[in-house]
Amino acid sequence: MSARNSLGPRQDGILGWLAIFVAIVFAAMYFLTAVPRVVYPYDLDIVEDGLLMESLRVADDQPIFVPPNADFIPDTYMPLYFWLGGLLFKVTGPGFVPLRLLSLAAIISSSGLIFWIARRESGLGWVAIVCAGLFFGGYRISGFWYELARVDALLVMLTLAGLTLGVYGAGSDRGLVLAAISLALAFLTKQIGLIFGIGMAIYLLVTIGRRAWRFEVTFGLLTVGPWIGLNILSHGWFSFYTVVLAAAANRTEIGRLLHSVRFELLGRMAGLTAMAVGGGLLSVRRARSLRRALRDQPWLIWIAMGIAASAIGRASVGGNLNNLMPAYTMLCLAPAILVREWKSRLDLLPRWRTGLITLGILAQFALGVYNPLRYIPGPAMLQSGDRLIQKIRAMDGEVLVMMHPYYALLAGKAPSANIGRIWYIHKLGALPLPLDFVARVQSHDYAAIISDNGPFETESDLQQLLLTYYRPADNLQPDEAPATITGIVIRPRVLYAPR
């Protein structure tokens, strides 16, 4: 193995080894935190429960995009994640572990892709190790969502795979088709993936001309075809949830965008942002034009598009830190790009430049420091969840667990629609409360209703319906009901009994 491609920093000295060490530490911190979270059997985030129930319907061969009803209302996401989850459930049975393992596998795959791209771009193995380590180092910055039962990890992996195939495999028809498939699957995971597919289509049209039709036709068939098919099969409900309701739930505010730029792009991700800007300026200087620089270094395009995708997500009302994952993932390639552009004519990186790059890398790692023990669900949380399930199981009759339908299923009860989804279709979709849901509450079909007393349950129409037919009967203590620890923190708090 040559010095240029060796994993260890031969010419770059102690700073390179220090960067490798810190990268390994952050990777270890991630797995130390993530593995206990993967096997934890209860909600860690308010969205996980909904995706689990959607996956369960796939496993049971039930439709997903159905009219709102008391039993089930889907989320606003595209369907690939819970299609895959349903296939896993056919083998494993329902639970958070299979879904979180799917997300964990996507995270590990993304880190491997970052390593491969960074090594190819920089020609230095130690830089590739550090770039992959920086990806794990973004766990806190992106809100601790990496391995949870959410669509974001799969979106990032499929996007990165598709871009890699498009950048390096465009010389073959097979590479173009595979790139289109991967990016179409990214879109079928989350709507924002469409940005990268359209961007790749334009990039290929500019760089390889007519041969780009193979990508464009494949991508078009695999995005438009499923869209039309799902909309026909669901009688229009697919587009209602994934377009109309999603747009209503993601209305943007300029103040949120400015906050994200100031405190995230130029704050928590400042080290990577600075290196990306530096690499971009050097690339333009070498190529003597922006257009030629982007042709020579297309990862600058994808970094910009990743930032744009994350900005759209963070600017939307309710857009949480998980939306930073596309930007942060692409920015993890910035050190490799800077190294490539800053090498001398002899393909060597002067030691002082290595020092500056390493300091920037270490500064970025410092911005992502966290205490793993704070984010690992402990025995007390597990015992609290077990007590809640036992309490629900002991009740005579069906129980509506408003924000956690899976808890009812664990207790042997029939799950109901997540109250958060009911809130979405009522307040954002301007639809009435599902009539069968109203009827069940009015006729006391539920022996008890358990509420987190969060913003969804306390909405005026829902609260009026609930309090007209039910009364607060018990306040659940923290040792009787576990809280989520990622994103919005909620936990079951009030048990209502029929009036």
Over residues 19-24, the mean pLDDT reads 95
Please tell me the predicted confidence (pLDDT) of residue 2. Answer: 41
The number of angstroms, rounded, from the C-alpha of 327 to the middle of its chain's C-alpha atoms is: 12
- Between CA 247 and CA 429 the distance in angstroms is 10
Tens-digit pLDDT profile for residues 410-421: 999 999 999 999
- Between CA 31 and CA 322 the distance in angstroms is 18
Tens-digit pLDDT profile for residues 193-234: 999 999 999 999 999 999 999 999 999 999 999 999 999 999
Q: What is the dihedral of CA 411, 417, 421, 422, to 10 degrees?
A: -130
User: What's the burial of 396, exposed, middle or buried (CB within 10 Å: 0-12/13-18/19+)?
Assistant: exposed
**Residue ranges covered by each domain of the chain:** 13-41+95-374, 379-498
Tens-digit pLDDT profile for residues 181-193: 999 999 999 999 9
What's the mean pLDDT when you consider all of the chain? 94
Q: How confident is the model at residue 132 (pLDDT cuts 50, 70, 90)?
A: very high
Q: Residue 364's closest CA among 443, 274, 291?
A: 274
Question: Residue 12: pLDDT above 70?
Answer: no
Over residues 408-436, the mean pLDDT reads 95
Tens-digit pLDDT profile for residues 139-190: 999 999 999 999 999 999 999 999 999 999 999 999 999 999 999 999 999 9
Please tell me the predicted confidence (pLDDT) of residue 344. Answer: 58
Tokens of 414: 């029939």
The number of angstroms, rounded, from the C-alpha of 473 to the middle of its chain's C-alpha atoms is: 38
**348 vs 122, 171, 227, 247, 309, CA distance in Å?**
10, 28, 50, 49, 35
Please tell me the predicted confidence (pLDDT) of residue 348. Answer: 66
Please tell me the predicted confidence (pLDDT) of residue 471. Answer: 97
**What share of the chain in percent tops pLDDT 90?**
87
Q: How confident is the model at residue 249 (pLDDT cuts 50, 70, 90)?
A: confident
Other CB atoms within 10 A of residue 411 CB: 18
The number of angstroms, rounded, from the C-alpha of 267 to the middle of its chain's C-alpha atoms is: 21
- Between CA 62 and CA 339 the distance in angstroms is 52
Tens-digit pLDDT profile for residues 59-105: 999 999 999 999 999 999 999 999 999 999 999 999 999 999 999 99
